[in-house]
């Protein structure tokens, strides 16, 4: 099963992905993960990406697509994959279409997660992350608080609010989403595999996806 999850930051893509991973035994793939993996492996394209990252520049789409092509051919993707937060732009979506065509792969579901912006802001400003770089566990002070306030359940390190999860930063992230990523809804909306569902409960979203794929 090959799935793309769309939606604004804070829509719950990570939570839905976790449930899909358990349900179908397929990997969750994000741009950040594959870039870090390629850098750690020391591949030629990984070194190319690292040079951009070290210079504080965005990694070009062509480099990301090279890494994505290799990742989608790894053994754990034989049964499928979940693309979480990728593609982000129309050009990336077009290049992904070409890549999937070359690999002989089809999309089973492109899922847009619908969430009102006031809920997104509340979700993200309530999020806390473990300060331990080896842990990075994520909590939500409303829906998933730690057992002890300000302390990670897993490793005991201090929980912090990331700079990109303040209200000002979130509004800027949403502006970028509306400009660059929201057009993907129109790009995919005419396809039979597209569905748009309210994302207030992750289990319900997974049930919707499973029902669509089973049709």
Q: What's the rounded Cα separation, in Å, for the pair 80 and 55?
A: 34
Task: Examine the pLDDT at 48 and tell me if it is beyond 80.
Answer: yes
Any idea which residues carry the catalytic annotation?
A: 13, 88, 127, 162, 173
Task: Examine the pLDDT at 35 and tell me if it is beyond 90.
Answer: no
3-state class (DSSP) for residue 113: strand
Other Cβ atoms less than 10 A from the Cβ of 144: the count is 14
Going along the chain from its start, the domains and CATH numbers come out as 2-26+79-214 (3.40.50.300)
Task: Examine the pLDDT at 199 and tell me if it is beyond 80.
Answer: yes
* Predicted local confidence at residue 123, as pLDDT: 87
* Predicted local confidence at residue 40, as pLDDT: 87
Structure tokens of 132?
A: 């331990």
Query: Is the model more confident about 75 or about 213?
Result: 75
Q: Pairing between strand 28-29 and 138-140? A: unpaired
| 94-99: long-range pairs with CB below 8 Å, 24+ | 95/61, 95/65, 96/65, 96/68, 99/65, 99/68, 99/69, 99/72
* Predicted local confidence at residue 214, as pLDDT: 73
Q: Which tens digit of pLDDT belongs to each residue from 68-117?
A: 999 999 999 999 999 998 999 999 999 999 999 999 999 999 999 999 99
pLDDT band for position 157 (50/70/90)?
very high
* Predicted local confidence at residue 165, as pLDDT: 87
Q: Which residues contact 72 (CB under 8 A, 6 or more apart)?
A: 29, 81, 99, 103, 105
* Predicted local confidence at residue 126, as pLDDT: 94
Task: Determine the average pLDDT of the residues in 123-147.
Answer: 91
Strands laid side by side in the 159-160 sheet: 138-140, 127-130, 159-160
What's this model's pTM, rounded to 2 decimal places?
0.84
């Amino acid at each position: 099963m090959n799935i793309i999850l769309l939606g604004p930051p804070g829509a719950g893509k990570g939570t839905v992905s976790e449930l899909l991973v358990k349900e179908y035994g397929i990997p969750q793939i994000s741009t950040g993960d594959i870039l870090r993996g390629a850098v750690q492996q020391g591949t030629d394209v990984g070194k190319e990406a690292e040079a951009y990252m070290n210079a504080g520049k965005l990694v070009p789409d062509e480099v990301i697509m090279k890494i994505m092509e290799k990742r989608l051919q790894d053994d754990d993707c034989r049964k499928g994959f979940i693309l979480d937060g990728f593609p982000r732009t129309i050009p990336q979506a077009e290049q992904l279409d070409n890549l999937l065509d070359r690999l002989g792969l089809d999309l089973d579901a492109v899922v847009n997660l619908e969430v009102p912006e006031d809920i997104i802001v509340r979700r993200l400003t309530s999020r806390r992350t473990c300060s331990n770089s080896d842990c990075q566990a994520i909590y939500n002070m409303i829906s998933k608080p730690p057992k002890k306030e300000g302390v990670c359940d897993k490793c005991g390190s201090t929980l912090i609010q990331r700079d990109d999860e303040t209200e000002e930063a979130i509004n800027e992230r949403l502006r970028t989403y509306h400009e660059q990523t929201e057009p993907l809804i129109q790009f995919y909306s005419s396809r039979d595999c597209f569905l748009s569902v309210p994302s207030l409960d992750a289990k319900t979203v997974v049930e919707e996806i499973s029902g669509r794929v089973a049709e």
